[in-house]
Structure 1
Amino acid sequence: MSTLTGSVPVVSAPHRSVQEAPTRTTPRVPAEHAAPPRRDPLRFAAKLSPLLGLAVSIGLVAWGLQTGVLQSLENLQAFIDSLGAWGPIVFLVVSAASVVFPIVPGGLLVIAGPVLFGAVEGTLYNYLAVCAGSLLNFLIARHVGLALIERIFPTRTVEKFLGWTRNAHFTRAFALAIALPIAPDDLLCYIAGTTRMRWRTYALIILLCKPWALIAYGLGVSAVILRFLPW
């Protein structure tokens, strides 16, 4: 008598013909050993230059008091006259440069113009220097773009005034800001260069609107200083 034996299938484990290499993990560098981010030299210079300019201004005032140049308005103007043509040339160059890059607070130079050279001549020098710097700001921004502006000025301030460019009446608002000494003209001139504003429109705004701000601020503040300064 034959017995039927059922065959039970045997399941064998899969055979690995090639041994798997162990996974290698890249060791993490501790935060204290990570390389620090590289400092932007232009941004650092933009933050440091107003302090250096202010320090130079304080040093010049101290020198003027020590030598007697600042003892009276007559002594100061006599010293400026002794410089000949170099006095106005240096003032124009420094004033224009301060508009392009904040070497010295521009407001101080606008006030200094009428004090150093008289009301009419000083205001004229202010007008030439500030207009030249403002026109140059537009050209720099037009050829370089927004990246340079964000490296010179604080990011939040740039973003704030960039919102103005989205307004349909930006050109009118820009002209009003240039005519009134209440807005950061240097930054606005840079930002205008990144818009579709035409060069002719921009130049007319600067040349026609800038004198009012210079007269109101330069002549007004300098007159108050000369009135109350013990000279």
Structure 2
Amino acid sequence: MEYVQRSRWNILINGSTIAGLIITVLFFIYGIQTHLFTSQAALQGFLQYFGWFAPVIFIIFQAIQVVLPISPGSIGCVGGILIFGSVQGFIYNYIGICIGSMVAFLLSRRYGISYVNNISNKKTFNKYIGWLKKPSFERLFATAIFMPIAPDDFLCYMAGISKMKFKKFILIIILGKPFAIAMYSLMLNLIAQRILPLL
């Protein structure tokens, strides 16, 4: 029964990831062809279809991609920078990722380790689950969240099955996420400025 449940979760996660990646790539191609990423006028015209609701849609998207990997988080970050600019893109990324991280924590706290195991990549799960046995888990978690290279979505799930209090988790996320997102935003913004105009 547990194997069947895990298989269903894997199909859901892998399917949503592939579908989200395809949609993201198609949108990226569309954006290049219509100069959406290189023309301020084209970008403003695109956003007019959504009006004031565009930031809300993006924040919801970023929150969902933490809980369920619709697309790689870095793609969402670069999307925020390209669509809304460096400052607003950073703010919307930050809000969405923080909300999604808190939801991931609460889900794993509610449903336990079997839930985390079912929705996680097996290799990542086996690599990091040993952290829970270490007395320095909270310090390791805070350091990983601060760095822009850790699998922080999974770590948020893992924190939910640890002894960490929700208030402390929120504090780590709020204080640690800005640096990682800022590093992503800085690097991706430089790439966008240097490479996209050549396409």
Q: What TM-score results when the alignment is normalised by the length of structure 2?
A: 0.90
- SS in structure 2 at match of 1:196: coil
Higher helix share: 2
Listed one character per residue, the Cα deviations across residues 143-189 of structure 1 (whole Å, up to 9, x for unaligned) are 01111111111223212111111111111111111011111001000
- Checking the alignment, whether the CA contact within 8 Å between 1:80 and 1:87 is kept in structure 2 is no
Which of 134, 152, 173 pairs up with 1:206? Answer: 173
Tell me the equivalent position of 1:19: none
> Residue 114 of structure 1 corresponds to which residue in structure 2?
81
User: Does residue 157 of structure 2 align to residue 190 of structure 1?
Assistant: yes
Amino acid at match of 2:156: C
- What's the RMSD between the two structures over aligned residues? 1.8
CA distance in 2, matches of 1:71, 1:134: 28
CA deviation vs aligned residue, 1:100-129 (integer Å, no higher than 9, x gap):
100111110012212110111110000100
**What's 1:127 paired with?**
94
Task: Tell me which of the two structures has the higher relative contact order, counting C-alpha pairs closer than 8 angstroms and 6 or more residues apart.
Answer: 2
Identity rate of aligned residues, in percent? Answer: 34
Task: Pick the aligned partner of 1:149 from 116, 123, 131.
Answer: 116
Q: Which amino acid aligns with 2:133?
A: R
Moved more, 221-230 or 119-128: 221-230
Does residue 8 of structure 2 align to residue 41 of structure 1?
yes
Deviates more, 1:121-130 or 1:164-173: 164-173
Q: 2:38 touches 2:196 (CA, 8 Å); kept in 1?
A: no
1:77 paired residue among 43, 47, 70: 43
Relative to structure 1, is the Cα distance of residues 227 and 192 closer, same or farther in structure 2, using a 3 angstrom cutoff?
same
Among 167, 170, 177, which residue is 2:144 paired with?
177
Cα deviation 1:8-64 (Å, max 9, x = unaligned): xxxxxxxxxxxxxxxxxxxxxxxxxxxxx8573222111222211111112212333
CA contact (8 A) 1:80 1:116 kept: no
Taking a change above 3 Å as real, the CA distance of residues 56 and 185 of structure 1, as seen in their structure-2 partners, is: same
Q: Judge conservation of contact 2:104–2:157 (CA < 8 Å) in 1.
A: yes
Aligned partners of 1:135 and 1:46: how far apart in 2?
19
- Unmatched 5+ stretches in structure 1: 1-36
Cα distance change of structure 1 residues 69 and 141 upon mapping to structure 2, 3 Å threshold: same
Structure 2 CA distance for partners of 1:61 and 1:114, relative to 1, 3 Å:
closer
Q: Which amino acid aligns with 2:166?
A: W
TM-score, scaled to structure 1: 0.78
* Secondary structure class of the residue paired with 1:230: helix
What are structure 2's unaligned runs of at least 5 residues? none
